[in-house]
Amino acid sequence: MEKEKNPGLVQFRGVMKRFGDVLAVEKTDLDIPEGSLVTLLGPSGCGKTTLLRMVAGLETPTEGDIYIKGNRINDVPIHKRNLGMIFQNYALFPHKTIFDNVAFGLKYRNIPKDQIKEKVSRALEMVRLPGVENRMPSQLSGGQQQRIALARAIVIEPDVLLMDEPLSALDENLREEMRLEIDNIQRMLGVTSIFVTHDQREALSMSDKIVVMEGGRKQQEGGPEEVYNNPANHFVADFLGHSNFVDGVIQSRDGDGYRVKLEDGNELMAEGGDWREGDAVEVVVRAQKLDIVPRDSHQTDDAVNCFFGKIKERSYMGGEVSYFVELENGTVLHVIGIVKTKPFRRGDPVAVTAPPRHCKLLRKES
């Protein structure tokens, strides 16, 4: 029988961090479930690293408590926390061999020599770099060094694996490979992990849970699909993917949806939420969810949420094309379309349709 997983292996309770006048992290509550990979996602300076470093014991919370496996660890020094850390710049010890690097944590756990040897070679196999024990870090490439850093962190069987932008120093093509590597190993070992990144693709592709942060505050927390499809606010909708925003006012309820009077004069059907007539809202539509067709091939004039305009800008991106469409009333929409036949050119008249179920409503933020 499988052991029940702890839903809050790491718990933040009212955790806040201030550096002098700078409020790096506002009062935050957060649970990291056992065995899961949770991503802290947000733009630079939003407090992700600070949150991670408080788990590591490299920063002390100004207020609040952090628990690991139910034990409050605020006052436990870093070397007693049993954590694996992976840094952006690998942080391998340049004067030690790969073996000594990977064995480092084991040495401080008083593990017998022969066992250390065995564990090190198993960890190196796991990161697919067997037999490099006697090399020096500088003799390995960046991607290999980061894999050694991963081996060094997991070999001690940490309670929590902490990763601060571990992929951002790598070349574009290596990044994907290393991401899969981390993803696989994390799942194989089932080690509870916190992964910090500003890259939404990394976050969306590997996380069990994403915590979107901005200005030191948690904006939304949820699975990748939930966060992507149901953004909680303007920031999340804007940060993840490419979105169009139009302000409007709820006019009436219409079946499952709402009729919204947009500020540019158009009218639009949207779905979801619980709104009252007169509520000020913001309509969000993902650029990928808009349909775009040539104007003349568009038949019916009574289709819902259909707008006419001209291609203003376009950029070809291989499999898809990104268009900016200027509507007749001047509003500009961002549309990302898959190239089926021939991409549109600048100036082409087009019809853009926004399916109501992809038009999400957010409360208008002042």
Q: Which residues bind ligand ADP (CB under 6 A)?
A: 19, 22, 24, 42, 44-50
Interacting residues with another protein between 308 and 337 (CB under 8 A): none
Which of the choices ligand ADP, Mg ion, another protein, none does residue 46 contact, using the CB cut-off of 5 to 8 A by kind?
ligand ADP
Min CB(185)–another protein separation in Å: 18
Contact range with another protein by CB under 8 A, out of 89-97, 181-189, 221-229, 315-323 = 89-97
Out of Mg ion, another protein, ligand ADP, none, what residue 123 binds, judged by CB under 5 to 8 A for its kind, is none
Give the residue with the Cβ less far from ligand ADP, 84 or 216: 216
Smaller CB distance to ligand ADP: residue 47 or 222? Answer: 47
Amino acid letter, 297: S
When the beta carbons of 117 and 217 are compared against ligand ADP, the nearer one is 217
Which of 6, 33, 45, 87 is the binder for another protein (CB under 8 A)? 87
Q: Among all chains, which residue has been given the structure tokens 């250390």?
A: 116
Query: Judged by CB, which is closer to ligand ADP: 151, or 203?
Result: 203
* CB atoms closer than 10 angstroms to residue 157: 13
Chosen residue from 152, 218, 314, 358 binding another protein by CB under 8 A: 152
Residue from 11, 28, 36, 49 that binds Mg ion (CB under 5 A)? 49
Q: Which CB, 82 or 230, lies closer to another protein?
A: 82
Identify what 78 binds: Mg ion, ligand ADP, another protein, none; CB under 5 to 8 Å per kind: another protein
154 binds another protein (CB under 8 A): no
| Interactions with another protein, residue window 91-150 (CB under 8 A) | 91, 93-95, 104-105, 107-109, 136-138
SS3 labels along the chain: CCCCCCCCCEEEEEEEEEECCEEEEEEEEEEECCCCEEEEECCCCCCHHHHHHHHHCCCCCCEEEEEECCEECCCCCHHHCCEEEECCCCCCCCCCCHHHHHHHHHHCCCCCHHHHHHHHHHHHHHCCCCCCCCCCHHHCCHHHHHHHHHHHHHCCCCCEEEEECCCCCCCHHHHHHHHHHHHHHHHHHCCEEEEEECCHHHHHHHCCEEEEEECCEEEEEECHHHHHHCCCCHHHHHHCCCEEEEEEEEEEEECCEEEEEECCCCEEEEECCCCCCCCEEEEEEEHHHCEEEEHHHCCCCCCCCEEEEEEEEEEECCCEEEEEEEECCCCEEEEEEECCCCCCCCCCEEEEECCHHHCEEEECCC
Q: C-beta of 243: minimal distance to another protein in Å?
A: 36
- Chain-centroid distance, C-alpha 281: 26
Binding pattern for the stretch 49-78 against another protein, x by CB under 8 A and - elsewhere: -------x-x------------------xx
Applying CB under 8 A, the residues found at the interface with another protein are 56, 58, 77-79, 81, 83-85, 87, 89, 91, 93-95, 104-105, 107-109, 136-138, 152, 156, 162
Residues near Mg ion, by CB under 5 A: 49
